[in-house]
Structure 1
Amino acid sequence: MTHQHVDGHETVELLPARTVYRPGEHVLVEIRGLTGPGELTVRHFGDVVATLPVAPGDAPADLGPLPAGGFGVELTGAGGNTARTAVQVAEDPRGALRYGFVVDYRPGRDLAAVADNLRRLHLTGVQFYDWAYRHADLVGGGETYDDALGQPVALSTVRALVDLCHQVGSDALGYAAVYAVGPKEWPEWEHDALLTPTGAPYGLGDFLFLVDPATDDWLEHFTGDLAASVDRVGFDGFHLDQYGYPKRAHRPGGEPVDVAGSFTTMIGRVRAALPGARLVFNNVNDFPTWATAHAPQDAVYIEVWEPSTGLEHLAQVATRARAEGAGKPVVVAAYQHVYDSAPAAASDLATALTMATLHSHGATQLLCGEADRILVDPYYVRNHTVEPSTAALLRRWYDFLVEHAELLTAPGIADVTGSYAGGYNDDLDVRYADTAVGHPVAPGRVWRRVTQAGDRLVVHLINLAGQEDTLWDAPRNAPADPGPGTLRIRRTGAGLPRVRVADPDRQHHLTDVAVAEDGDWAHAVLPAPHVWQMVVIDPYPEQP
């Protein structure tokens, strides 16, 4: 990833020591490449809360303990330009899940760049994809082996990656398929098979066969295998995977199986066996989020496929998941296949619109991992090495997500669009001279959504001007410029509301805009949005 220019002579990078901090911990930020004096500025919601002079050769800058929240950290050098990062301080670090992945467990591989990427993108959980010996025998391969698809694995490397996660404050989650058995182990488990109406076992080609994940003998084996993995490797928890089918089946004795119920039973048994583990279950295409979101796991994770092809579908998935999860973090696995077929510029815009949709609806995206990779395929080994433009985009947007976590992903944020916007309400809206504004999403206009976070109102403006459709995994046109917007908000007293704007591409931290009185309303002129603009309103008036 490219370092950020601070002046004509320096390339500087800021890296937090940890992906998330607890209250009371000293927040440390490493400064790389500094060759002259500079100053760090720490902001919360755009307001300066601390400054710190720095010089070349200093140890990591110590920002001291910070209260719970998201903070932007900016370095200003002699030339007046900046380098940036963000930090989050959380009472419960597992209350946020910015999810990443690793796939390479070759003996002796270099891990330093992986650690940097976890810190750079603030990834609090890491999925160890296909680390195990076999799906139904996780640790039976000894210290070195080839996985089920022939990839080399050294448990020494797996352990080193787990240790690396712990050093930077991330949880290491081992991948485990909850009901998959390979051909070699199948004779031992075919009595628990999930069968088609014609009596064949459900499976993944002839590579894997599926068992009922709620049978007692399978669960005794499965939970024992997970516990052995913790002992052998040191995982903090597990990514519990399924394939999205079948929804209903029968067993060899003819017993019907409601697989959604089997999944919830399985999650409960895994929790009982591993009470301190971080558990993330994969709801493939939302199946069965309505059941498993209430199970004793630590996130609501959904892998989306057709028919969830539009940005509006991502919004619906995230909204339902937040409602069902009742405070659990929501992660959507939306693989950006577009990079396999389109130039980086058009693909980066697709990713930006995907992130804008998910982040503005309180969810995060499983996308980034290793040192410089993103996911373009459900087989994570088949990933994509990012170009510099993509690396820069991801850094900006993940910093923005962390700095504004209290306004984006915190529990309790409510969608109030239907209560505030529109002619009947006439409480709050945004207009552009020649570009329509609306909700729900539609191509060619600015998608407006209003949320309430505590006492604040947050207006999300996602720019679809210039787009011909709303597909999230397709090349995107360059955004058209809607020009400045006009915000109109009903006043709540004698004074004026405070209005601030931020944009992950153009205005990284919240910045005040002028507000004018107009009778019972107030007006503010907003900068033109690029891809996603966030407008934060403190509606209670300042004293005249």
Structure 2
Amino acid sequence: MTLPLAGQAARTSNLAPENFTILDLRPDQSFYRPGQPVRLRVKLQAAQPAEVGLYLKITYLEKTINTFFQRANLKKAPEIFETTFTVYLPPETPRGYGFELAVKTGKEAATLATASTAADVLDGWPQMPRYGFFANFKSEETEEESFSRAETLAAYHVNVVQFYDWMYRHEDFIPPADEFIDPMGRAVSYATVKHKIAAAHHFNMATLAYGAVYGATPAFWEAHQSWGMYQADGTPYSLERLFYLMDISLGKPWAENILNQYEKAVTIAGFDGIHVDQYGYPKLAYTQPENGEEKPETLELAQLFPPIINAAAERVAPLKPGAGVIFNAVNNWPIETVAPTGQSAVYIEVWPPYVEYKDLHDLIINAQRLAGSSQNHKQVILAAYLSPFLPEGLRLSDNSATDEAPHAVQGHVPANPAEKVAGAENAALLATAAIYASGGFHLLLGEKNGVLADPYYPYYGQFQPDFALKMRHYYDFLVRYENVLSDPTTRPLPSAEVEATVEISRGGEPIEVSGEAKAGQVWVLLRQGKSFTTLNLVNLQGLHDSLWNAFKETPTPLAGLTLTLTLPEDEATSLKKAWLASPDGDASAQEIALSRETLAGNHQRLTLEIPGLDYWDLLVFEKE
């Protein structure tokens, strides 16, 4: 039973902190709808029998909104003890919350261990689209294994999952038999697909069926050549002759066929929507009419995508509550025409020349602007594949990106295997900081602690167990502070203005600040909202370059920092309070004292002392 905290204490025990562990603390769902109970699962282990007190604190941003207490009798120790806190959160959406657990014992209520997690209340996943993936659908995968893989994703609060290459054929999704070989030669079980859909739904994760908007197998193209898209010389467009590209003009046979397949994915397979893919080309194509006397039509894809995206969204929406689509703007093309469409979120697959951290930021900001995010709250997701995690046998190049292998790892490659692991993990932490501090979301996480490392999803890498816990802590942080990190109504300040506003020093010595995410400096990102201003610090000191898809050095830790902001007086006086949180610590918000100095020209200088910066700090200024 969960009780409100009111002077409760655990009975005396001689248990020492080194003999006690909180094995796990997590919510039972990826997110919660208004009014849905939140069940926090707790796993404890002690070296000896003991009775302890569990003290739970619930926070919204920097404020504590409730506290609860449970007594736990670990009489069967060292067996694992499991219990649950059941709480109800306010119905406002979107809203992220932190949960801090302290386990105490003894007359002095000494703390044995602490842990934290997060959960949020949403109307649906598009409000905060934490996108993940499934890419394996083998027949030998049991229902229990499918459930375990979904449970792993839910621990990261992933609330929408792409099922990559799940279908029988690109032009005919539903298989004629349970087991089949897909066009890439992989064995797939439709039963496993269905098991994974059910498992995802158990954790309140929406499922999106991958479906290329214009890809068809060679056999289908051979039988329907007049449906295809062609170059000016009559050569058919294809993806390495694996898939032929078809005319997506509404009213044409292919468009109707693929829209029917999207409907079947929802009504027959049970998906909640479609991940609509394209290959990034062609920009311009031509038809090849069966009647040789007819003149070929010119097809401008940037203008053809929006109608079929909207049609797909309109076709699936009535089939299931919350059903929607996402469209892949490959390498940010054609973002100007597809961002404002009826898709549920803006999605960009990132390729060169967008190779630096600042490029990730700029892609997000531009997409938010084009989508009118401040009006319709449409979020932006980046598919930024981290090649340092590619399994060694699959890495295509260890030194540079090439046209033949555009997803090859960039920058310096360590020779030492341990340094490679550390370099890949640093790349994941810094990419996460860069994308979420910019107000975006990242398609990165998949089954079995998987990490996307290649555009062909089955080539995913995997986190080491210890680092998986670190990334879970990061994703707890993203959820806990989503109302200041992921508010699409906030406005970013230009880099030059940031650099003119913010100064950082340590022991009186200046530290280089960059609004452009330059290696060797502290990257500062400022975003202004109606009731708050955020200042994100991303530590790029000690890095040799600012490439995001590269093995990265561990940033040089910085301690004892003094941060100043020089602002117009009216803006400075509106900032009444400051607090700091970091995913590199315990993630709790700590109030930071503000000192003010009046300057000439109706300006003020605000000064704050920052305890330290490892990878990423979030500083929030609350307005009056």
TM > 0.5 between the two? Answer: yes
Instruction: Specify the SS of the correspondent of 2:20.
Output: coil
Cα distance between partner residues in 2 of 1:206 and 1:237: 28
Instruction: Specify the SS of the correspondent of 2:468.
Output: helix
Tell me whether 1:273 sits opposite 2:273 in the alignment.
no
Instruction: Specify the SS of the correspondent of 1:106.
Output: coil
The one of 319, 324, 339 equivalent to 1:293 is: 339
Instruction: Specify the SS of the correspondent of 1:65.
Output: coil
Matched residue, 1:14: 25
Matched residue, 2:97: 71
Give the Å deviation of 1:225: 1.4
The CA RMSD over aligned residues, in Å, is: 2.2
TM-score (norm 2): 0.81
Give the Å deviation of 1:328: 1.1
Matched residue, 2:43: 32
Matched residue, 1:362: 439
Tell me whether 1:155 sits opposite 2:190 in the alignment.
yes
Percent identical residues:
27
Instruction: Specify the SS of the correspondent of 2:477.
Output: helix
Count of aligned positions: 533
Task: Tell me the amino acid that sits aligned with residue 480 of structure 1.
Answer: T
Instruction: Specify the SS of the correspondent of 1:43.
Output: strand
Matched residue, 1:255: 297
For structure 2, list consecutive stretches of 5 or more residues without a partner in the other structure.
Answer: 1-15, 47-51, 73-80, 105-110, 290-295, 391-397, 399-413, 415-419, 599-603
Give the Å deviation of 1:26: 1.8
**CA deviation profile, 1:518-540 (whole Å, cap 9, x unmatched):** 34544211122111111111244
Could you say if the C-alpha distance between residues 208 and 405 of structure 1 is closer, same or farther in structure 2, counting changes exceeding 3 Å?
same
Tell me whether 1:533 sits opposite 2:617 in the alignment.
yes
Pairing 1:399-414 to 2, within 5 Å after superposition: 399-414=476-491
The one of 287, 301, 318 equivalent to 2:364 is: 318
Matched residue, 1:504: 583
Give the Å deviation of 1:420: 6.2
The one of 110, 120, 135 equivalent to 1:88 is: 120
Matched residue, 2:155: 120
**CA deviation profile, 1:460-516 (whole Å, cap 9, x unmatched):** 111111112110011111212344322334565889832111111124122112333
Instruction: Specify the SS of the correspondent of 1:275.
Output: helix
Tell me whether 1:335 sits opposite 2:381 in the alignment.
no
The one of 205, 212, 221 equivalent to 2:247 is: 212
Give the Å deviation of 1:290: 0.9
Contact 2:215–2:244 (CA under 8 A) maintained in structure 1: yes
Contact 2:174–2:269 (CA under 8 A) maintained in structure 1: no
**CA deviation profile, 1:42-89 (whole Å, cap 9, x unmatched):** 111122111112344665311223343111112112344322211011
Tell me whether 1:180 sits opposite 2:256 in the alignment.
no
**CA deviation profile, 1:8-63 (whole Å, cap 9, x unmatched):** 32242112111111222222211123554321211111221111123446653112
Instruction: Specify the SS of the correspondent of 1:508.
Output: coil
Contact 1:121–1:395 (CA under 8 A) maintained in structure 2: yes
Contact 2:266–2:316 (CA under 8 A) maintained in structure 1: no
Contact 1:484–1:525 (CA under 8 A) maintained in structure 2: yes
Pairing 1:375-394 to 2, within 5 Å after superposition: 375-394=452-471
Cα distance between partner residues in 2 of 1:421 and 1:363: 19
Instruction: Specify the SS of the correspondent of 1:487.
Output: strand
Contact 2:21–2:113 (CA under 8 A) maintained in structure 1: no
Instruction: Specify the SS of the correspondent of 2:310.
Output: helix
Task: Tell me the amino acid that sits aligned with residue 303 of structure 2.
Answer: G
Instruction: Specify the SS of the correspondent of 1:309.
Output: coil
Instruction: Specify the SS of the correspondent of 1:22.
Output: coil
For structure 1, list consecutive stretches of 5 or more residues without a partner in the other structure.
Answer: none
Question: Which has the larger Rg?
Answer: 2
More divergent stretch after superposition (189-198 vs 106-115)? 106-115
Matched residue, 2:410: none
Cα distance between partner residues in 1 of 2:227 and 2:100: 57
Contact 1:147–1:153 (CA under 8 A) maintained in structure 2: yes
Cα distance between partner residues in 1 of 2:594 and 2:386: 40
More divergent stretch after superposition (491-500 vs 228-237)? 491-500
Could you say if the C-alpha distance between residues 58 and 141 of structure 1 is closer, same or farther in structure 2, counting changes exceeding 3 Å?
same
Instruction: Specify the SS of the correspondent of 2:332.
Output: coil
Give the Å deviation of 1:435: 1.9
Contact 2:20–2:113 (CA under 8 A) maintained in structure 1: no
Contact 1:345–1:389 (CA under 8 A) maintained in structure 2: no
Cα distance between partner residues in 2 of 1:8 and 1:83: 16
Matched residue, 1:398: 475
